[in-house]
Structure 1
Amino acid sequence: MKVLLAQPRGFCAGVVRAIEIVERALAKHGAPVYVRHEIVHNRHVVETLTSKGAVFVEDVCEVPPGAVTVFSAHGVARSVEDEAAGRGLRVLDATCPLVAKVHSQGIRYAGQGRTVVLIGHAGHPEVVGTLGRVPGPVHLVGSVAEVEALPIPRDTPVAYITQTTLSVDDTRGIIAALQARYADIAGPETRDICYATQNRQSSVRDLGRVADVILVVGASNSSNSNRLREIGGECDVPSYLVADGSMLDAAWVRDADVVGVTAGASAPEVLVDDVIDALRRVRPVEVSIMPGIEETISFRLPAELADL
């Protein structure tokens, strides 16, 4: 069978930066380094960092006073920062710069007197963090129906911001509904939406034109990985989310001529290789990479770690 790898796939610049912050913190300070929440949504990444001395917690109250602590790529609420400061924690912030940009946008819009609407998924760590940073009431919507149910008068000055793991395509309908409902509305430009999310979704649509089956390598709790699988299905191609090669069901691919493989933004390439090895156990494979965007973006590390 032909195995066609999406381009781009896997780690984005924000994920690379977050993992490197934990690794450099361990190199500089030694173990343990505490990490609030999974640094990124991938079990393999978490287990690898745990083996090196990282300790993952869900609340900063679990961290010993004064300990080195990393905030995950998803960002945190202001109250978490305040609690960490109160405990004297030595914080390294691994919040993705694009998530931090959403926070800044929301704060700016609120400062202009606008009522802020956040487009995102309730309960997602990034959304929880954003809701905890933008002052004033912030209204969360995840669908056009929820826009229609907003308790905001139509003559209110409104602004919207978006969860970074949603693409232009994901938010287009909701933004259109907001613009139809509110005459005085502001929002970020399209180019401000996360490049990595859009690129990976576009590459899956390209796979959907040629693949008989699509495999998405990623964690079940990864929002962007689940969305990639959904997009494959929207292309009328059987699509499956697999954490690694052990989850491959041979029946999915036994009769496929072309198997498309991609990976969510928090999935390392080693897991893609593991899935390809699993495919080889079903039938001989010929691997090639689809033409696509080559991402060259990188984000600066915190100054105290940059010299390591």
Structure 2
Amino acid sequence: MKKGVLLVNLGSPESPEPKDVKKYLGEFLMDERVIDVPLWARTLLVKGIILNTRPKQSAKAYKKIWWEEGSPLIVLSEQLQDQVQNHTELPIALAMRYGSMTIKKGLQELVDKGVDEVFLIPLYPQFAMATTETILVLAEEVRQADFPNLKIDSLPAFYNKPDYIKVLAESVKGHLQDKDYEHLLFSYHGVPERHIRKSDITNGHCKIDGSCCETASKAHEFCYRHQCKEVTRLVGEYLGLEENTFSTSFQSRLGFDPWLQPYTDRTIERLGKKGIKKMAIVTPAFVSDCLETLEEIAMEGEEIFHEVGGKEFTTIPCLNTDSNWVKLLAEWINKWAETPAKV
């Protein structure tokens, strides 16, 4: 069997113009694993309310961070693809969950090269309904409909792999080596609390309280909250960070339902009011910089910090094309390539 690799990231509008942003948001927000309410309610909320107001606002945000080459997320993902390709003989394709760079196109590109077994890599360290799960579900639907003879394996969540933690921690260390900071904030993309409960395979462990994430359970295999907190703990341990000098928060909440807390914007505000003058922030839910890191954190977050008296706000880039991250991805790919083909 001939093997190939499909890297999958979130996606992006074709341009920062409102019409393209509206099209992209429509596809993204109508995903039942992103807004997990009945179709009639999701349609009313997205098409009746959000798409009539949010595209113009989001377009302004995208324009702030848009590069001459295009969407930062797309450009960085393409650069990652190219650099990983230099370390493996397997053909590598790139796809996005939303937008024009579809999973179907990515799989077709590999099939056209003679590939009949694919290693699907969702570019998310942690598992979540709205990220990893929606990619895997759609990939299987596409496979059944268009590529029935194709075999697909996937990379599980890698949030706690020691080699990944080392790469992430060394990246943080490298970007902070010349910086004087008082607090390091680990900010993760937020999800509604109900997503955590829906992903609980034990149907009872996840209480979203002060102890369930620290109590061993099979539920942790699919618990986004636990996996985020574990990344923070492991990186803090690797770097030898002192207690109370680092913490976890969640960003990008939408709507009025309870989302994972504490919220990043309020945490930045609280730290500033508490007297923290120099803080750094890292966003380990993303491997590539995007709207949520470049605008929401690096711009809005810094503005909040300065408004409450903060002085120095250091944003640590995502792994992007960090050489150690590129080599690690290639190592995982090459190890998979050496395993016997599944029949």
TM-score tier, shorter chain, comes to 0.3 to 0.5
Bigger relative CO (Cα 8 Å, ≥ 6 apart): 1
More helix by percentage: 2
TM-score normalised by the chain length of structure 2: 0.32
